[in-house]
Amino acid sequence: MANKMQVVMKEEPKSGAVLGTKDIPKPKADEILVKVMATSICGTDLHIYNWDEWSQSRIKPPYVMGHEFSGEVVEIGEDVTLVKKGDMVSAETHIVCNECELCRTGQAHLCEETKILGVDIDGTYAEYVAIPAENAWVNPKGIDPAYLSVQEPLGNAVQTVLAGDIVGKSIAVVGCGPIGIFAVAVAKASGASKVIALEVNEYRMELAEKLGADIVINPLNEDPVNKVLDATDGKGVDVIAEMSGNPTAIKQSLKYVKLGGRVSLLGIPNGEVPLDIANDVVFKGITIQGIAGRKMYETWFQVKGLLESGSLNIEPVITHRLPMKDFKKGFELMQSGDCGKVVLYPHEK
């Protein structure tokens, strides 16, 4: 193995990224070294690439971007027993302390000391990455590495949709970026009675329909409140899966959620969102949940079960595959919205 590897770096505190080289990391005693076979672009990566307000307050260049991936274990630290060389792994990207109250009471996904792969530490837009062995999720062999690389964002969709009752319930998925499209598929696979997708990009509207949305609404062309109420006999939907973070979309969703319904929020607004708490929350008796990633590791087992059941088809979500050196094209696709998941291959030239 050569000592150097190719990486995509956030080199300076400004928009963009560069292709560079770094030393291949040496795993610590409790870590594994993984040869990255596939790594996908996330909406968080796009925020960092664009260097928005959130990125400026959180990211400390220079560092290696990326966090969604799959790969082969090529080296293990001396204390590692859970993983072996040759295993195909993905990763839970939240690295937690395992000592605080939250970690010790089954809520490690909310650990205040969390460090995120590809956000707080060097990530997966690289030929090799070192991760804690306890964060490795060992996959069956023989599965397309691209499918394995998207289990982490798929887990976000699973956690959002399954954060309450869904069987026999109607659901509106608001914002059909890649995680929203996953949410459409998860809702259908989990027994939702009616899935309504709301999205402004025509490419992603078609993807949502392909993944099983019963009704697709473009809020730019029609009133989403009236359309959802019309589709639900005036009662509204049982569940909102809010993936967009768009302030207008969030406020509208509270107008068409059913009395006593559930609103699960995964999308992150850029600023404060003023709400009519009295009329849209208190008097409607609704439940509003914040969804922080995935439960460790309950959601991973749910993802595994859904995929093994054969009822969840994620193949249409992966729309573009590129060698990592063409990462700028991948970010352009994400910027346009004319894509589902974009997967990069670090070892393809």
The answer, yes or no, to whether residue 246 has pLDDT greater than 70, is yes
Task: Give the mean model confidence (pLDDT) for residues 262-274.
Answer: 93
**Averaged pLDDT of the chain:** 96
Task: Give the mean model confidence (pLDDT) for residues 213-236.
Answer: 98
Tell whether 189 and 139 lie within a shared domain.
no
172 near 241, Cβ under 8 Å?
Answer: yes
Task: Give the mean model confidence (pLDDT) for residues 50-68.
Answer: 95
Tell whether 50 and 129 lie within a shared domain.
yes
Instruction: Return the CATH number at 264.
Output: 3.40.50.720
Instruction: Return the CATH number at 341.
Output: 3.90.180.10
Question: How many angstroms separate the CA atoms of 55 and 144, rounded?
Answer: 32
Task: Tell me whether residue 347 is one of the annotated catalytic residues.
Answer: no
Tell whether 161 and 236 lie within a shared domain.
yes
Tell me which residue range forms the domain holding 90.
4-150+314-345
Digit-coded pLDDT (tens) for 102-124: 999 999 999 999 999 999 999 99
Tell whether 218 and 257 lie within a shared domain.
yes
Q: Is 267 contained in some domain?
A: yes
Q: Is 305 contained in some domain?
A: no
The answer, yes or no, to whether residue 1 has pLDDT greater than 60, is no
Tell whether 172 and 267 lie within a shared domain.
yes
Distance of CA 98 to the CA centre of its chain: 23
Tell whether 79 and 179 lie within a shared domain.
no
Tell whether 36 and 105 lie within a shared domain.
yes
160 near 182, Cβ under 8 Å?
Answer: no
Looking at residue 221, what is its pLDDT? Answer: 97
Looking at residue 271, what is its pLDDT? Answer: 84
Digit-coded pLDDT (tens) for 132-168: 999 999 999 999 999 999 999 999 999 999 999 999 9
Long-range interactions of 46-54: CB distance < 8 A, separation 24+: 46/331, 46/334, 46/335, 48/10, 48/119, 49/10, 49/15, 49/16, 49/17, 49/331, 50/15, 50/335, 51/13, 51/14, 51/15, 51/16, 52/270, 53/270, 54/268, 54/270
- Provide the number of structural domains found in the chain: 2
Tell whether 97 and 191 lie within a shared domain.
no
Supply the pTM of this predicted model: 0.95
The answer, yes or no, to whether residue 318 has pLDDT greater than 90, is yes
Residue 331 — pLDDT band, cuts 50, 70, 90?
very high
Tell whether 127 and 235 lie within a shared domain.
no
Task: Tell me whether residue 47 is one of the annotated catalytic residues.
Answer: yes
**Structural Rg of the chain based on CA atoms:** 20
Tell whether 168 and 146 lie within a shared domain.
no
The answer, yes or no, to whether residue 84 has pLDDT greater than 60, is yes
Q: What percent of the chain has pLDDT over 90?
A: 97
Q: Is 167 contained in some domain?
A: yes
Count CB atoms within 10 A of the CB of residue 146.
Answer: 21
Tell whether 137 and 176 lie within a shared domain.
no
Q: Is 118 contained in some domain?
A: yes
Tell whether 128 and 212 lie within a shared domain.
no
Q: Is 107 contained in some domain?
A: yes
Question: How many angstroms separate the CA atoms of 233 and 6, rounded?
Answer: 56
Annotated catalytic residue within 47, 67, 109, 320: 47
Task: Give the mean model confidence (pLDDT) for residues 203-210.
Answer: 97
N-term to C-term CA, the chain: 17
Q: What would the DSSP string read from start to end of 109-164?
A: GG-TT-EEBTTTB--SSBSEEEEEGGGEEEEPTTS-HHHHHTHHHHHHHHHHHTSS
Q: Is 161 contained in some domain?
A: yes
Q: What is the largest CA-CA distance in the chain?
A: 64
Annotated catalytic residue within 39, 44, 114, 232: 44
Task: Give the mean model confidence (pLDDT) for residues 295-313.
Answer: 95
Q: Is 301 contained in some domain?
A: no
Q: Is 31 contained in some domain?
A: yes
Q: Which H/E stretch holds residue 257?
A: strand 257-265
